[in-house]
Amino acid sequence: MPHAVKSQSETANPRKILSPAYVRRSGHRRDEYASPMHSDVTEAQARVVRMVEEKRAAGDYPPNLEHDLDQYYRGIMLGLTKETERVLAIRTALNYLGDPTHFDPTRIPNSSTTVFRNLVHRIIARLASRQVHTITSQIRDLAAAVHIAITNLTKIIETIKDTESTQAERRLIPLEERICLLEDKIRELERENSPR
């Protein structure tokens, strides 16, 4: 559908009601479309996913390739949903928590500018390595637990929002119908009273 020329303002900030997640939640489930008739196509779609996983594991996609090629989509979607930036921030934080390599003893610096201090740091690191490993392992466990907790909380919040909006919608529909009837009535009265 050809639409009017669209401005893509840098400060684009439209409404959350148009977020794809909102629409998807309020619509029917995705698996309603899954058709046993098209198992070969489902298999092809699965092959696509497998090929991508294999290539990704082999490091076949240069860094930033996919990110750079998504520029148009990202630009449009940032303007489309009010919550996108906040959601992205939560996802980034969740990814950080979910990545165990962020909590690793090897990330603790033990070097120094002077030879003596360098030696001292390395000795202390060697002496305390058992404790450091235990602490980072505990932090990893904690991060994993926090990751699960936030993921579950996000799901619960979304469910609460859905329930609330459904109930509100249920109350609004009869009101809308009444308003429509009143509008019709007004139009009829206007027509009756308009000069012929």
Partner 1 sequence: MRILFVVQRYGVDIAGGSEQCCRLFAENLAARGHHVEVATSRARDYTDWANVFPAKDEVINDVLVHRFPIDRVRDNEAFQNLDKQVVWGPATASWESQEAWIDEVGPRTIDLPSYIFRRTEEFDITIFFTYLYYPTVRGLPAAAGRVPTLFQPTAHLEPQLAVPIFNYLFRQPDGIAFLTEEEANLVRSRFGRRPAEAVVGVGCNLETKGNAETFRTLHNLGDSPLLLYIGRVDAWKGSLEAFNYFKVFKERNPSDLRLIITGDQVTSLPDHPDVHLTGFIPETQKADAIAACTAFLQPSYFESFSMALTEAWALQKPALVQGRCDVLAGQARRSGGAIHYKGYAEFEAALQLLLEDPILRQKLSENGRRYVEENYNWDTVMTRYEDLIDRTVAAFQNRHSAQSNAGR
* Count of C-beta atoms within a 10 Å radius of residue 97: 21
Per CB under 8 A, the list member of 83, 141, 164, 184 interacting with partner 1 is: 184
User: Of 141 and 183, which CB lies nearer to partner 1 in the complex structure?
Assistant: 183
On whether the CB atoms of residues 1 and 67 are closer than 8 A, the answer is: no
* Count of C-beta atoms within a 10 Å radius of residue 81: 21
On whether the CB atoms of residues 155 and 128 are closer than 8 A, the answer is: no
Please report how close the Cβ of residue 151 comes to partner 1 at its closest, in angstroms: 21
Please report how close the Cβ of residue 87 comes to partner 1 at its closest, in angstroms: 15
What CA–CA distance (Å, rounded) separates 19 from 22?
Answer: 5
Per CB under 8 A, the list member of 14, 123, 145, 153 interacting with partner 1 is: 14
Dihedral, CA atoms, 175, 178, 184, 190, nearest 10 degrees?
-90
User: Of 135 and 179, which CB lies nearer to partner 1 in the complex structure?
Assistant: 179
- Is residue 17 within the footprint of partner 1 (CB under 8 A)? yes
User: Of 5 and 115, which CB lies nearer to partner 1 in the complex structure?
Assistant: 5
Which residues, 46 to 65, sit near partner 1 by CB under 8 A? Answer: 47-49, 51-52, 55-56, 61, 65
- Is residue 195 within the footprint of partner 1 (CB under 8 A)? no
Tokens coding 17 = 């009601």
The alpha-carbon radius of gyration of the chain (Å, integer) is: 28
- Is residue 15 within the footprint of partner 1 (CB under 8 A)? yes
Question: How far lies 85's CA from each of 9, 63, 97, in Å?
Answer: 15, 22, 18
Q: Return the residue matching tokens 């809308």.
A: 176
Widest distance between CA atoms in the chain = 104
- Is residue 88 within the footprint of partner 1 (CB under 8 A)? no
- Is residue 168 within the footprint of partner 1 (CB under 8 A)? no
Residues of the shown chain interacting with partner 1 in the complex, contacts defined by CB under 8 A:
1-9, 11-15, 17-18, 20, 22-24, 26-28, 33-35, 37-38, 40-41, 44-45, 47-49, 51-52, 55-56, 61, 65-66, 69-70, 72-73, 75-76, 79-80, 169, 172-173, 176, 179-181, 183-185, 187-188, 191
